Each structure stands twice: as C-alpha cells, then as structure tokens.
Amino acid sequence: MSTRFGAVFGATLAFALLALFSCSTLSLILQIVATKGAEVTVETGYIYVLTMVGGLVSALVIAQLSVTKPGAAPGVGGFQPESTFGIYATNSVVAVYLFVWIFTGLAALIVGVMLYPNANKTISDLGTTWLGLAVSAAYAYFGIKPGGGAAVPEAATVQPIASIGQQLQQQIDQGKITFDIGKPELKDELLGTNNGTKVTSKLQSLVLELSKLSPVSIRISELLRPSGDSHHVAGRAVDIGNEEIANSLLPLVATDAKVTQLGIDEIIFDAAVAGDADRNKWNYDVGLKHSYDGAALDDHKTHIHFAAAA
Ligand SMILES: [Zn+2]
C-alpha cells in the first residue's frame, strides 16, 4: 500500500467515525434541547456506539496533539506530504477533524453538563470526559505539565487515562457489569457515589478486572454490609450472584499468579455447585490456597465471594 493511498484510506475512515460520533451525539443533544431537559432515553446499542466511537475519536485527537511540536500546526502521524498541495490538504483534513470534535464535545458539555445534567447520562458523561480530554490536549499542545514547568516535547506522551469510576461506568454501559434486580444501591456503591462507607479502590480495580476477564457479564449481588464479621463491612468484598459462570470465570482467576496480580485476599465458593468433587477447588484466603469448613462452604453456594487485599 503506497503512503498516499494509506493516508487517503486512513483519513476516510477517520472521517466516517467522526461523522458517526458527531451525528449521533448532536441528534441526542437536539432531543434534549427540544424537550427542555426532560429525561431522554435511547437504546443501549446507540449508547454503545456513541461511547465506543467517542472514546476512539478523542484518543485520536489526543494522540495527534501530543505528538505535535508545541505551538506547531498539527499534521497527520507518519504521513510526510511531498508537495505544497499535500501539506495544505493534510492540514485542512486535520483542522476540520479538530473543529468538529471541539464543536461536538462543547455542545455535550454545555447541554449535558451545564444546562440539563439530568436529561441523559451518556451526554453528561461525554461532556465531562470531553472537558478532561480537552484540558489534557491543551496542556500537551502548549508543552506544559499540569503541575507547572515545561515538558520535554519529545517525551510528552499525554494519554487519555480514564478514571477507575469512568472505566467501571463504561463496563456497566456495555452490560459487562450488571446488578441484582431490585438493588439500585449496588451501582452507587460500586462507583463510590453512595453515602457513608465506600468500597476501596482496590476492590473497584478487582471488579473491573473480573469484568474484563469474564467471558460473560458478571452480576453483582452484594457489596457493602452494615455490620458483621466479613470484609464486606470494610468495603473490600463483592459477591457475584450469577454463580453459574464459575466454570468459565474461576479457572482464569483462581491461580496463584492471577490472585497475586489482581490483589485478591479471598475467594470463597462451593465448587460442588459447579459439579466438582473438591468443594474448595478455587478457594483462597489471605492470597493463599485455602480450605474452608463445611459451614462456610454452605454459605457460598448461591454466589462467588471475592475480597480484595487491604
Ligand atoms: Zn461475600
């Protein structure tokens, strides 16, 4: 593939994604404005495309700005135009791309965050995320670090790192993390937006990793518990209520290497439920293989219990 063909193909693909992202976002924003902030709901497929493509478009913009020499006009990565016309064409493509991204994100910020924050969660999240990315992009473009002082331009690699809460929200939006029906408080507990005791950030990371590892979605049935003798009280434990996934999930998690890597303290599940003769097949305590007694196993037939290290 010639460099020129590659550049044209890449630009077309980038424009198609940009159009998909901005059209779906703007149509949603127009609906919110038309209903003057009444709650607007859309299909999960719509949200999936919007968050997926939105993330990619933003990452492209950040990558673009962070490899650009501070103060210089952005160009297309890896493509060196040979003619004056080529330089103009490349710069125009990038300029249009950046302006559409700015316009769409700004609209989401103004409508979804500043004017009607309760109308549609996807648009509010998009506006907030866009602001964060725009600020990082501006820092990258001017070659300064948020803490002050000039960054070394060659080493400036600003990545759009989503917070743990944003990553969990994304898994929830994509249906990879679900919750027991009738327990709406679980979502707030997982995201740390509840009142009172909160789950630890280590537990949040553990749940995120479990949701990524699991071939099917995980369904949380319990997080915080007000009292008692378990790690649930300290916000370190989670119960997975769809225990039928044990045979596909636990072999990927219940190994010494993975338990160490994920910072797992406890795994408690009666493997007899999954048809295994060894009831303690996958169990761990303080990060080591452990055999729980009959009473403990009897309590863990309907859910898989995980605790994160303190
Ligand atoms: Zn538990």
Residue 70 has pLDDT above 60, yes or no: no
* SS3 assignment for the chain: CCHHHHHHHHHHHHHHHHHHHHHHHHHHHHHHHHCCCCCCCCCHHHHHHHHHHHHHHHHHHHHHHHHCCCCCCCCCCCCCCCCHHHHHHHHHHHHHHHHHHHHHHHHHHHHHHHHCCCCCHHHHHHHHHHHHHHHHHHHHHHCECCCCCECCHHHCCCCCCCCHHHHHHHHHHCCCEEECCCCCHHHHHHHCCCCCCCCCHHHHHHHHHHHHHCCCCEEEEECCCCCCCCCCCCCCEEEECCHHHHHHHHHHHCCHHHHHHHCEEEEECCHHHHCCCCCCCCCEECCEECCCCHHHHHCCCCCEEEEECC
pLDDT, average across residues 123-152: 72
Where are the domains positioned within the chain?
A: 3-160, 165-308
**Which pairing describes strands 177-179 and 218-222: parallel, antiparallel, or unpaired?**
parallel
Residue 21 has pLDDT above 70, yes or no: yes
Residue 293 has pLDDT above 50, yes or no: yes
| CATH of region 165-308, choose from 3.40.50, 1.10.3470, 1.10.1220, 3.30.1380 | 3.30.1380
Residues 163-191: pLDDT tens digits? 899 999 999 999 999 999 999 999 999 99
* Phi, psi at 284, each rounded to 5°: -135, 150
pLDDT level of residue 153 (50, 70, 90 thresholds):
very low
**Which is higher by pLDDT, 282 or 99?**
282
pLDDT at res. 283: 97
| CA atoms of 180 and 93, how far apart (whole Å) | 47
**Which is higher by pLDDT, 98 or 218?**
218
pLDDT level of residue 5 (50, 70, 90 thresholds):
confident
CA distances from 58 to 13, 21, 137, 169 (A): 15, 10, 10, 17
| 185 Cα–ligand 1 center, Å | 16
Q: Choose among 118, 114, 112, 159: nearest CA to 140.
A: 159
CA distances from 39 to 27, 67, 261 (A): 15, 40, 42
pLDDT, average across residues 26-37: 89
pLDDT, average across residues 261-269: 96
C-beta separation of 105 from 130 below 8 A: yes
In this structure, which residues have their CB less than 5 angstroms from ion ligand 1?
237, 239, 305
| 259 Cα–ligand 1 center, Å | 17
| 290 Cα–ligand 1 center, Å | 16
| 309 Cα–ligand 1 center, Å | 14
pLDDT, average across residues 205-230: 94
pLDDT level of residue 14 (50, 70, 90 thresholds):
confident
Amino acid at 102: I
Residue 126 has pLDDT above 90, yes or no: no
| 193 Cα–ligand 1 center, Å | 21
| 267 Cα–ligand 1 center, Å | 9
Residue 55 has pLDDT above 80, yes or no: no
What rounded mean pLDDT belongs to the chain?
84
| 295 Cα–ligand 1 center, Å | 14
Tokens 């994604």 correspond to 17
Q: Choose among 176, 205, 173, 175: nearest CA to 190.
A: 205
Min mean pLDDT across 22-36, 53-67, 231-245 is at 53-67
The separation between CA 295 and the C-alpha centre of its own chain, rounded to angstroms, equals 38
| 237 Cα–ligand 1 center, Å | 6
**Which pairing describes strands 304-308 and 218-222: parallel, antiparallel, or unpaired?**
unpaired
pLDDT over 90 for what percent of the chain? 51
| CA atoms of 240 and 248, how far apart (whole Å) | 13
